[in-house]
Amino acid sequence: MIEMKKKVNTSMQARKVPLLNQKAEDPKWFHSFIPFKIATGGSSQIVPLYAMQMGAGAGEVGLLTSISTLTSTIGTVFWGKLSDKLLKRKVFIIMGFLSVSFFLAVLSMVNNFWELLIVNSLYSFFLGSTVSIPIVLLFRNVRKTRWEEGVGKFNKIGGWAWVVGLLLGFVLVRFLTFRELLLLFALLNIPAFIIAWKTIREAPVYLHRSNIKPFVNQVIQKGRYLPNFLVHLPTRLKISPKFRGLYLSSFFFWVSSGMYSTQLPVFLIKNGFTNQEVFGMALLNSSISALLYQRVGRKLESRSAVLALMQGYFSRTVGISLLLLPLAVPNSLLFLSIASYVLWGYSWSYISVSLTSLIGRMSTPREQGNALATSNLVNSSGFILGSLIGGVVASKIGFDLNFASASVLSFLAIIPLLPLMRPLISISTFKRSIPHIRRRN
């Protein structure tokens, strides 16, 4: 009997050891996203530049981006629901990885803008399988007490790999054609599905997506401009009054962002900038965001998320407005564009983290999943609309009116947030009214 107890204790200890070791390790399949993000990050800037090389103008680029965002959003929800129904994750992630190499190779062979539009739309739809499914798989591979840490590390790996991809594009765009670059990134992506095939262990346990809460300490690249962390569509569109101001603010911002971010590369190319300079500014933008994400997340532990979100919106407003300043000094457009990209990256770190944090703080555990889904639906709709409007305004009237309108909308996004400041003011007033009591030793 004593020997039996010893064997049982030894067996239990043996089971605990891997769990304790697992606490310090992250799933090995995280690394499969390094070549994947390098390929998608490097190719993200090629598509609009490639379209302009084929003769596309501001309107066509706006249409290209809006349809890409729409199909990516549909694909994310479609593949996510299908994976939930089949209780499979690995096959969809590998399918997404394979689609990158396949569609980048096909994109290198298109001959006109409309072919590029169709192929890129299909590419975005299949790429949607790599957005939310990995997060759900992560929740099955990482202890619940480490979910937030796991999401942060996963996105940090992907975020910096995205920056590496932009760096490669920045260096190589001077020596290779867009067709050659697309083929190169298609090849660089191949290790992704090989690593994924070997390291992903299927965990066929159902996880309800509405239970996925917002996470703050994330490092997220602006992957194909899709609003981040899209997991599912809301189960109902009845919006609670406490969220109306936040959603209206977010909608204004994303319309502004669509008008600004999709037309900025077109504006630069039209004003004589090279493809390498556009790549370099995108690299600077993403690097600044990646450096600040976790720092902003730590700040929000002791700071109001509403104030941080306002700071992000105001910084974006200033960044867009810089493009409207008169060009009296030589090379002034270069410096203003660099400053605009810097403020773009700086503002995005505050906006993405504080908006996610604010949704989490304002909602109850039962509301979080639906609130997050509704937010992403509002964001995606705003960006699609902004991309279309920006393309029409820039092509028919001019870039000045487009950027001026985007700047006004970005500033208007602050106004619906003002009522959310009242609880903060009342709390601070209450704290000041409490007399300080000295502690006696």
User: Does residue 60 fall inside a structural domain?
Assistant: yes
Residue 136 lies in a domain: yes
Give SS3 for 33. helix
Residue 357 lies in a domain: yes
Domain-embedded: residue 315 = yes
CA pair distance 133, 196, nearest whole angstrom: 13
Which tokens sit at 435? 């007399």
**CATH assignment at residue 372:** 1.20.1250.20
Which residues fall within 8 angstroms of residue 371, CB to CB, at 6 or more apart? 240, 243, 359, 362, 363
pLDDT tens, the chain, 441 aa long: 445 444 444 444 444 444 434 444 677 888 888 999 999 988 988 999 999 999 889 999 999 999 998 898 888 888 878 887 887 888 888 999 999 999 999 999 999 999 999 999 999 999 888 877 777 777 777 776 666 667 677 777 888 888 899 899 999 998 999 999 999 999 999 999 899 898 888 765 555 555 555 555 454 444 444 444 455 555 555 666 777 888 899 999 999 999 999 999 999 999 889 999 998 998 888 888 888 877 777 777 767 888 888 999 999 999 999 998 877 667 888 899 999 999 998 888 888 878 877 877 777 766 666 677 777 788 888 999 999 999 999 999 999 999 999 999 999 999 998 888 765 544 444 444 444 444 433
Residue 17 lies in a domain: no
- Pair 175, 275: CB distance under 8 Å: no
Tokens of 300: 């929000």
Overall domain count for the chain: 1
Helix (H) or strand (E) holding 184: helix 178-188
**Angle (CA) 384 119 251, round 5°:** 10
Domain contains 350: yes
Q: Is residue 8 part of a domain?
A: no
Determine the 3-state secondary structure of 236 from DSSP: coil
195 CB-near residues (< 8 Å, 6+ apart): 28, 29, 31, 32, 35
Residue (of 151, 133, 150) closest to 209 by Cα position: 133
Q: DSSP assignment, residue 57?
A: -
The boundaries of the domain holding residue 270 are 28-418
Pick the closest to residue 289 from 221, 215, 217 (CA basis). Answer: 221
Q: What's the predicted TM-score (pTM) here?
A: 0.81
Whether 37 maps to a domain, the answer reads yes
- Spell 282-305 as b/e; 16+ CB within 10 A means b: bbbbbbbbbbbbbebbeebeeebb
Q: What are phi and psi of 167, to 5 degrees?
A: -65, -45
